[in-house]
Structure 1
């Protein structure tokens, strides 16, 4: 069963896709729809709709406040370079999974390729101690991204 955060994330993604890449939401209204506290909405937006995931957030506080979510439209090569910069010297398994999901969502890789990438950078395969495990994972994913751009 999907978590509340997963359900909220999918709802917002659907709004963005139906609205040509830009969706405006009101935090309290969304919290009422999902019967949750507004901070849950903040958490989902902060962790799942940031630049690393291909989104830009604009917000206005106050009585008529809103949160506007823009899906960033950039070329394939620039998108890969953006991913490369986000990876850095280390990469957790969770963050690697999110990046791979993003590559799949943007249709840069197939579902089969995404599954292979997840397997290649999983903790079960990278039998190393931290921080070496995250460093090796980062290098593997960077090299794979470079091979996709060429």
Structure 2
């Protein structure tokens, strides 16, 4: 069966209507459905479309695919965020400890190093920590 542009638009709008908000995922599933319909022996578009949707497990399974994709994207972003957080926390602790050592030894620039360490802590490390905790709570409530 050969699909027209109207058929493809109809499938795309239905996928968006049933909860596929991720553009790349919607295009991938649209491609799979179109290939299944084009390879089918059916002559009626509606029947071929319903058969293709059922092959995916129905609209409920398509929503499950969307949820699983969101979780995988979250964990990928979370991994990067954890690496950044570790680097910032390491740098912050190094500045604070070095500043304390300089202060004990009464060497110059001790105040500047301590100030830099606490500025990193307040401006970067703590907001990143609380943002990560917020995202984890959101994921827990969604699942």
Q: Is the TM value for this pair above 0.5?
A: no
Q: TM-score, normalised by structure 2?
A: 0.28
Q: TM-score, normalised by structure 1?
A: 0.27
Higher helix share: 2
Query: Taking CA–CA contacts closer than 8 Å with sequence separation of 6 or more, which of the two structures ends up with the larger relative contact order?
Result: 1
